[in-house]
Amino acid sequence: MTQASPAPVPAYLTRTQERALALTIAVVTANAYYIHPIIGEVARGFGVGEAEIGLVPALNQLALAFGILLLLPLGDFYPNRRLCLIFVAGQTLCLGGMVLAPGFVTFTAASTLLGFVTIAPYLIPAFASRRVAPERLGQVTAQLTAAVIFGILVARVGAGIIAARADWHTVYVCALVLMVAVTAFLPFAMKSEATAKQPPAGYGALIASVFTLAARHPDMRLSAAIQGLNFATFTATWLALALHLTSPAMGYGTDDVGYLAAIAAVSVFSTPRLGRWADRVGPRRARLGAAVVQMTGIALFYPLGHSIWGVMVPLLLTNLVGPTIDVTGRMTLFTLAPDIRTRLTTSYIVAMFIGGAIGSALGTAVYDLGGWGATCSLLLTMSAGVLVLSAHAERRWRKSPGVPSG
């Protein structure tokens, strides 16, 4: 009788591979956020108003939501390495279109298409979740989320400083150079994968399965709603804050906004630590705690938001815990079956970027209509929604039969 072969040991990522994936995520994520500190300069450069310029990040986020819905599910059936190479190359081409754009419409179209193909930052965490030990899932997920934060941080700080010393167009030239470099080294940063699996009865059925899986996992839908509101708060905050601080009444420059964005560095260090804490106490309990701290920070924006020094306090609090809400939301998905994680992540990220699009449009429009006070009311309302839904998710999980608290 032939003895059965032992099950193969999982090929876990090395720490060097984890860092290489994190660097890739940081660079490709940054493209959507260069506009945050320089949004006023871009508007003046193209001769458009504050409400109109809000369309650029709003359409970018909305296109990203559609791109994730239509493209990200392929990650459950085709090698993530191949998909990442294709989409990162597409990002590079779109960024080149933004650099060469002769007018606002062309610039907005290229930015929108860029959003549609920005899939790599959302393929990579699902890729990594299948290649880390279960006890390190929260830590590695947090590390990759911290890479997103780092990319956003570099984009904001760098864009503000470069625009103040050169112009906003130079910001995108520098971004293009970075993307060309990433496109060249990515084939060496991601290792090869197993052969592709057959999608269920074609592409249409694959996309339909995203909705079927979402319907079967109410906890995922709740996590997606929480992160959609959380990301709407994030985008509305930074876009409105850039307009507020560079307004004639405040008188700060784009470089000041860029320097202020450096406060997000706290997230790079806090998020992996909070991810390890979430491994211990459970993602839903950790998310509820983060939501409480975030709403406290949001409530301080109005009384402290009339100087660049005062606004640092609420920014510190919100940046300290805001990304943890995302990390814990993803953790609720990554504990499910590996062969459906990418499609569940699809629903989650689509909701997130629909929220981002709404936040981008509302943040600039509400500021244009009612100023800083109206914007702070909007932010507080959205943050309260995050807190209420997080409390409901934690309570619902505790009451589930046979499920440990958290």
pTM of full prediction above 0.75: no
> Would you give the distance in Å from CA 268 to the centre of its chain?
14
Phi/psi at 282 (5° precision) = 100, 140
**Domains of the chain: which residue ranges?**
15-398
Q: What is the pLDDT of residue 405?
A: 41
Q: What is the pLDDT of residue 379?
A: 95
Say whether pLDDT at 392 is over 70: yes
Q: Class of 15-398 per CATH?
A: mainly alpha
Of the pLDDT bands very low, low, confident and very high (cuts 50, 70, 90), residue 194 is low
Quickly list H helices, 217-340. Answer: 218-245, 254-261, 265-281, 283-299, 301-304, 312-334
Question: Do residues 229 and 354 make contact, with C-beta atoms less than 8 angstroms apart?
Answer: no
Comparing 171 with 254, which gets the higher pLDDT?
171
Residue listed under structure tokens 């907005």? 108
Say whether pLDDT at 224 is over 80: yes
Question: Do residues 345 and 125 make contact, with C-beta atoms less than 8 angstroms apart?
Answer: yes
Q: What is the pLDDT of residue 404?
A: 46
* pLDDT tens figures, 207-222: 888 888 888 888 888 8
Say whether pLDDT at 288 is over 50: yes
* pLDDT tens figures, 142-156: 778 778 878 887 888
* pLDDT tens figures, 308-317: 889 899 988 9
**Of 210, 218, 235, 216, the residue nearest 354 (C-alpha):** 235
Q: What is the pLDDT of residue 201?
A: 61
Q: CB under 8 Å, gap of 24 or more: what pairs does 44-47 form?
A: 45/167, 45/168, 45/169, 46/103, 46/104, 46/107, 47/104
What percentage of residues in the chain have a pLDDT greater than 90? 27
Say whether pLDDT at 6 is over 70: no
Say whether pLDDT at 241 is over 90: no
Of the pLDDT bands very low, low, confident and very high (cuts 50, 70, 90), residue 78 is confident
Say whether pLDDT at 14 is over 80: no
